Amino acid sequence: MKIEDRKQAIADYKKRASVAGVFAIRCRATGEVWVGQALDLDKIANRIWFTLRMGNHRNAELQRSWAAHGAYNLSLEMLERIEDEELAYVRDTLLKERVAHWRAQLNASAV
């Protein structure tokens, strides 16, 4: 890859819009569900799996489930996307409302 092409690819990546939303992590072995929110749904899976592999995820229940049942029993799914909300406070309020809705709907804990 040429230097100019690489620079253009990096610039295009930085310009891409991030999509906020709500996600769920499910444990197939126990049926437990955790619901959370992310400002960039495309990156949240890597962040969560990394902290779980390192053994320092902030949710102790989720970390215990990972340790007891393994990575193959946990799955992450996108529940809802918040498209193109330009005002941060409106986006944040909407995310909080939707997370509360999904936690109640799925009888889930916080991530």
pLDDT of the chain, 111 residues: tens digit per residue: 788 888 888 777 777 778 899 999 999 999 999 999 999 998 999 999 999 999 999 999 999 999 999 999 999 999 999 877 668 888 899 999 999 999 999 999 999
Q: Which domains does the chain have, with CATH numbers?
A: 17-110 (3.40.1440.10)
The full length of the chain comes to 111
Among 57, 94, 65, 98, which residue's Cα sits nearest to residue 79? 98
The overall longest dimension of the chain from CA atoms, in Å, is: 51
> Which residues on adjacent β-strands are paired with residue 78?
23
What is d(CA 79, CA 21) in angstroms, rounded to the nearest whole number? 8
What is d(CA 21, CA 42) in angstroms, rounded to the nearest whole number? 10
pLDDT at 11: 79
pTM of the model: 0.83
